[in-house]
């Protein structure tokens, strides 16, 4: 069985060094084999040459980075081993079917070649039951918890639906991610950007998203006593929910207690005494692979979970879109707080007021910095930057419903500008590095940032909302 183990070791080595200048010789040396011999072994096991596997994975990560970050295309090409932009564009287009620029401009989803995982399972004995759902995609975390959750949901849909999941831009729209702004005045705590932060009932945002994507699901929140014992659900019920879903080919979205991040449970072993999870990175990561973990005594750690039950019939898209516009405009104009949080334009006002008038004079540099006050303001910037996510979906609506085209095109242009507030913020000489944290103390600098936020970026957000309201008015919806 050494050739199976060696191939997996080689894959792990490749995955850890995709941005390094490694060759087939390096990979073969890592498993202590001659290149000619191991090339044949690798091809027999995977159906690919070593160079093909590395090229597929590098182009996958390059596509993901171009779509989801603002990195320059020339920098991405160099990062993944291409000597010139021309050779990168040629290989990229052959792999993805579109150019790097087209991916970035259109927001379309790049092609994804998942890391290979090779295992041999031996079954028998006294009939211990196990099940693994294959081909779970890698999960990424770009710093916005809503985006991280959408990546998990997208991967779950793709596997459960035995194909491509819903369009990411569409999910960003119906989750509310693409048009939300939430702020807790003067609190200086992270969490405003969590999807459920403005839910008025448990799982409200997730139920709406699942329904909009055509899925029925079961939602369970585990209530526990002071000793951690479940009050409303016992461990056997939890285990059976997970086993039933995985047996049907549906991964489970699960979150540990006291943690914001959902992960995917995609397998179980030993009759459910162990589960297998794919976990997104805890820190912001573009190319870091998600982790696969085997968990024991796992029922005691679960905080809440979502179990897919099956596909449902979707409402007509026109009806769904109008409902979305009504939801977005309602939140934007809301004046009362939700769970102690301001939303929409009230959040904008509060955010910009705190940015201009917050007093940092008694705080240490660390308390001011990226893990302190500046970091909380970055939570707000992440929410605003997410205006870019639903734009491809709004463009598709403009094509399908030409009577809305003028309003949608105006809204798209306004949101595109609004999202750039983060760029203006950082262009003032601030950065995540400690050497720049002291600058954030300067009230004159923060006044410049706040004034421009009011004058330009908030006004563009208002303009976009006004366009959605015009569409609702056209359709006779109050």
Residues 30, 18: Cα–Cα separation, whole Å? 14
CATH number for the domain including 221?
3.90.70
Q: Residue 63 in contact with residue 110, Cβ under 8 Å?
A: yes
pLDDT at 36: 87
* Bridge partner residues of 255 (DSSP): 262, 304
- With H, G, I as helix, E, B as strand and everything else as coil, classify residue 187: coil
pLDDT at 174: 92
Query: How many C-beta atoms surround the C-beta of residue 221 within 10 A?
Result: 13
| b/e burial code for range 182-220 (CB count within 10 A of at least 16 → b) | bbbbeeeeeebbbbbbbbeeebebbbbbbbbbbbebeeb
Task: Look at residue 84 and tell me whether its pLDDT is greater than 60.
Answer: yes
Report how far apart, in Å, the C-alpha atoms of 14 and of each of 36, 94, 147, 217 are: 17, 22, 27, 37
Average pLDDT over residues 295-323: 91
Average pLDDT over residues 275-301: 74
Number of domains in the chain: 3
H-run or E-run covering 12: helix 2-16
Clarify whether residues 470 and 345 are in a common domain.
yes
Task: Look at residue 125 and tell me whether its pLDDT is greater than 60.
Answer: no
pLDDT at 1: 47
Domain that holds residue 455: 317-474
191 within domain boundaries: no
> What Rg do the C-alpha atoms of the chain give, in angstroms?
24
Clarify whether residues 453 and 360 are in a common domain.
yes
Identify the CA nearest to 279 among candidates 139, 147, 114. 139
What's the pTM value of the predicted model, to 2 decimals?
0.70
Average pLDDT over residues 26-50: 85
Clarify whether residues 283 and 371 are in a common domain.
no
Average pLDDT over residues 277-303: 74
Residues 388, 390: Cα–Cα separation, whole Å? 6
User: Which DSSP category does 298 fall into?
Assistant: G
Confidence of residue 154 (pLDDT cuts 50, 70, 90): confident
Task: Look at residue 289 and tell me whether its pLDDT is greater than 70.
Answer: no
271 within domain boundaries: yes
Count the residues in the chain: 478
Residues 161, 243: Cα–Cα separation, whole Å? 18
pLDDT at 93: 86
Average pLDDT over residues 118-140: 67
130 within domain boundaries: no
CATH number for the domain including 91?
1.10.10.60
Clarify whether residues 337 and 380 are in a common domain.
yes
Average pLDDT over residues 316-341: 94
Confidence of residue 295 (pLDDT cuts 50, 70, 90): confident
284 within domain boundaries: yes
Confidence of residue 41 (pLDDT cuts 50, 70, 90): confident
pLDDT digits 0-9 by tens, 158-185: 777 655 566 888 999 998 888 999 999 8
Phi-psi region of 267 (alpha: psi -120 to 50; beta: other; left: phi over 0): beta
Average pLDDT over residues 113-125: 63
Clarify whether residues 26 and 51 are in a common domain.
yes
pLDDT at 43: 78
Which of 311, 344, 371 is where one domain is finished? Answer: 311
pLDDT at 155: 81
Average pLDDT over residues 41-58: 84
Average pLDDT over residues 386-403: 95
Which of 265, 284, 311 is where one domain is finished? Answer: 311
- With H, G, I as helix, E, B as strand and everything else as coil, classify residue 307: strand
Clarify whether residues 279 and 326 are in a common domain.
no
- Does residue 463 or residue 196 have the better pLDDT? 463
Residues 380, 375: Cα–Cα separation, whole Å? 9
Residues 115, 125: Cα–Cα separation, whole Å? 31
pLDDT at 164: 56
Mean pLDDT, the chain, integer: 87
Which of 106, 134, 156 is where one domain is finished? Answer: 106
- Does residue 190 or residue 39 have the better pLDDT? 39
265 within domain boundaries: yes
Average pLDDT over residues 443-463: 97
pLDDT at 285: 44
Residues 193, 22: Cα–Cα separation, whole Å? 39
Clarify whether residues 384 and 340 are in a common domain.
yes
421 within domain boundaries: yes
pLDDT at 112: 78
pLDDT at 278: 84
Residue 440 exposure: Cα atoms within 13 Å on the Cβ side: 30
pLDDT at 286: 45
Clarify whether residues 20 and 82 are in a common domain.
yes
100 within domain boundaries: yes
Residue 150 makes CB contacts below 8 A (sequence gap 6+) with: 168, 171, 172, 175, 177
Query: How many C-beta atoms surround the C-beta of residue 145 within 10 A?
Result: 23
HEC string of 168-185 equals HHHHHHHHCHHHCCEECC
pLDDT at 239: 92
pLDDT at 414: 98
pLDDT digits 0-9 by tens, 209-239: 989 888 899 999 998 888 888 888 888 899 9
Angle between helices 391-400 and 405-418 (to 10 degrees): 170
Clarify whether residues 435 and 398 are in a common domain.
yes
Q: Residue 77 in contact with residue 62, Cβ under 8 Å?
A: yes
Confidence of residue 413 (pLDDT cuts 50, 70, 90): very high
Clarify whether residues 20 and 56 are in a common domain.
yes
Residues 94, 144: Cα–Cα separation, whole Å? 31
pLDDT at 443: 93
Report how far apart, in Å, the C-alpha atoms of 232 and of each of 61, 201, 297, 349 are: 42, 17, 18, 41
Q: Residue 195 in contact with residue 206, Cβ under 8 Å?
A: yes
Confidence of residue 283 (pLDDT cuts 50, 70, 90): low
pLDDT at 323: 95
Clarify whether residues 212 and 321 are in a common domain.
no
Burial class (CB in 10 A: 0-12, 13-18, 19+), 426: middle
pLDDT at 40: 82
Q: Residue 429 in contact with residue 353, Cβ under 8 Å?
A: no
Share of the chain above pLDDT 90, in %: 43
Identify the CA nearest to 17 among candidates 105, 92, 81, 94. 81
User: Looking at 120-258, which runs of residues are DSSP E strands?
Assistant: 131-132, 182-183, 215-221, 252-256
Task: Look at residue 293 and tell me whether its pLDDT is greater than 70.
Answer: yes
Share of the chain above pLDDT 70, in %: 93
Task: Look at residue 447 and tell me whether its pLDDT is greater than 50.
Answer: yes
* Four-point Cα dihedral 87, 92, 94, 99, nearest 10: -100
129 within domain boundaries: no
Clarify whether residues 239 and 284 are in a common domain.
yes
pLDDT at 39: 87
């Amino acid at each position: 069985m050494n050739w199976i183990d060696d191939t997996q070791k080689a894959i792990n080595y490749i995955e850890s060094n995709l941005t390094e200048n490694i060759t087939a010789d390096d990979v073969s040396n890592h498993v202590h084999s001659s290149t000619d011999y191991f090339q044949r072994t690798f091809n027999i096991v995977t159906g690919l040459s070593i160079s093909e596997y590395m090229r597929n994975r590098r182009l996958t990560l390059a596509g993901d980075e171009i779509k989801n970050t603002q990195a320059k295309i020339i920098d991405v090409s160099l990062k993944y081993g291409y000597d010139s932009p021309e050779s990168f564009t040629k290989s990229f287009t052959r792999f993805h079917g579109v150019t790097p620029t087209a991916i970035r401009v259109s927001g379309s989803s790049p092609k994804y070649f998942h890391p290979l995982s090779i295992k041999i399972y031996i079954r028998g004995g006294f009939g211990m039951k196990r099940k693994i759902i294959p081909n779970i995609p890698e999960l990424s975390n770009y710093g916005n918890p809503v985006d991280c959750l959408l990546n998990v949901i997208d991967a779950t849909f793709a596997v459960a639906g035995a194909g491509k999941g819903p369009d990411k831009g569409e999910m960003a729209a119906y989750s509310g991610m693409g048009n939300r702004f939430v702020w807790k005045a003067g609190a200086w705590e992270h969490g405003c950007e969590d999807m459920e932060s403005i839910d008025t009932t448990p799982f409200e945002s997730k139920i709406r998203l699942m329904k909009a994507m055509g899925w029925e699901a079961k939602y369970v929140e585990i209530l526990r006593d002071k000793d951690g014992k479940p009050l409303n659900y016992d461990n056997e019920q939890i285990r059976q929910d997970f086993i039933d879903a995985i047996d049907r080919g549906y991964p489970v979205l699960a979150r540990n207690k006291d943690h914001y991040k959902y992960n995917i449970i995609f397998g179980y072993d030993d009759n459910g005494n162990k589960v297998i999870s794919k976990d997104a990175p805890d820190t912001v990561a573009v190319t870091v692979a998600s982790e696969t973990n085997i968990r024991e005594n796992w029922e005691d750690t679960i905080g809440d979970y979502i179990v897919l039950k099956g596909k449902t019939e979707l409402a007509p898209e026109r009806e769904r879109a109008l409902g979305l516009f009504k939801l977005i405009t309602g939140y934007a104009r809301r004046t009362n707080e939700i769970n102690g949080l301001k939303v929409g334009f009230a959040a904008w006002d509060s955010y910009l007021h705190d940015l201009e008038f917050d007093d940092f004079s008694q705080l240490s540099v660390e308390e001011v910095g990226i893990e302190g006050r500046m970091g909380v303001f970055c939570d707000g910037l992440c929410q605003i930057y997410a205006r870019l996510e639903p734009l491809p979906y709004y463009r598709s609506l403009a094509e399908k419903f030409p009577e809305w085209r003028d309003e949608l095109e105006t809204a798209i242009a306004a949101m595109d500008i609004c999202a750039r507030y983060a760029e203006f913020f950082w262009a003032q000489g601030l950065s995540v590095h400690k050497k720049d944290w002291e600058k954030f103390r300067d009230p004159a600098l923060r006044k410049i940032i706040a004034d421009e936020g009011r004058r330009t970026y908030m006004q563009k957000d208002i303009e976009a909302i006004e366009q959605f309201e015009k569409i609702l008015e056209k359709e006779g919806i109050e």
